[in-house]
Structure 1
C-alpha cells in the first residue's frame, strides 16, 4: 500500500510539471493568438478604408463631371432662350415695319386728298378726321415723321433726288420735300425724298 502511494506521488509530481507547462502554454497561446488575429484585421480595415476613399474620390470626380455638364447645358439653354427672344423681337419688328410701310401709302393718299380742293365741307371734315385717326394710330405704334424742310441734309434719313439753286436756303439745306420720311422708334422705315440747295 505504501508502495502504491509512492507511485501515485511520483506520477503526480511528474504530471504536475507537464500540466503546468500545458497550462502555461494555453495561457500564452490565447495572448499570442489575438495578436496574430489583430494584424490581419488591421490590414483588412486599412484596405477597406483605402477602397472607400478611392470609391469616394471616383464618385466626387463623377459628380464634378455631372455638375460641369449640367452647367454647360444650362448655359446653352440660356443662350438659346436669349437668341430666340432676340429673333422673335426682330421678326416682330420686321413685321411691324412691313405693316407700317404699307399704311404709309394710305397716309400719303389722305394727305393728297386734304390738299385737293373740295366743295363739300362735310366730306372734307370726314377726310380730316380719318387722317387724324391714322396719325394717332401711328403715334401709338411709335411712328414719327422725319424733320426735313429747312434741316441740314442728312444722308441717313434724307434721300436727295435733286439739287436746287435756291437763294432762300443756305447751302446743303433741304429746300423741298416730295415725300415725307418716317421712323419707327430708332429704325428708319422710309427716308424723306427731298431737294437740296446748293
Structure 2
C-alpha cells in the first residue's frame, strides 16, 4: 500500500469517527431536550401533588420552627433588659441613700438625717409613681374585695357597721398601671 492509500484510508476512518461522534452528540442533545421538556412539564397525578404538598409542609414547618426560636430569643433578651429603664431611674435614689448612710455615720444631728431621708423617700415615691406604681388607699370600713385585698385574720368588730368590713390594713397594696401587683393585707371585722 502506498502512502496515498494509507492517507486516504486514515481520512476515511476519521470521517467515519467524526460522523459517529456527530450522531452521538445529536442523540445526546435529543435526550437532553427530552429531559428538559419533561422537567418543565409538571407531572400530573396524585403522587406528584402529594410530593409537592409534602415539600410545602416541610418548608412551612421549618419556617415556623425558625420563627419560634427567633421569638423565644427575643423574649429572653427582653426579659434581661425589661427593668433597665426602671433601674436607671432608681440609680440616683440609690446614690442618695448611700450618701445618707455615710452622713449618718459622721453626723449626730438627728433632724438633719430625718430631713435627708425624707427627701430620698419622696424621690423614690416620685420615680415609682412615674412608672405607674400607686399605693391602694383603703380606709377603715371599706368593704372587703377579694380582687384587691388579702384577709389575714378576722377579729371581733369594734362596731356593728364594721362587721364584714376592713378594720385595719397591715400591709399596703400596690397597683402597677391599674393592675394589682400586691394585694393589701387587711384585718376583717367579724
The two structures have a TM-score, normalised by structure 1, of 0.47
Greater helix content: 1
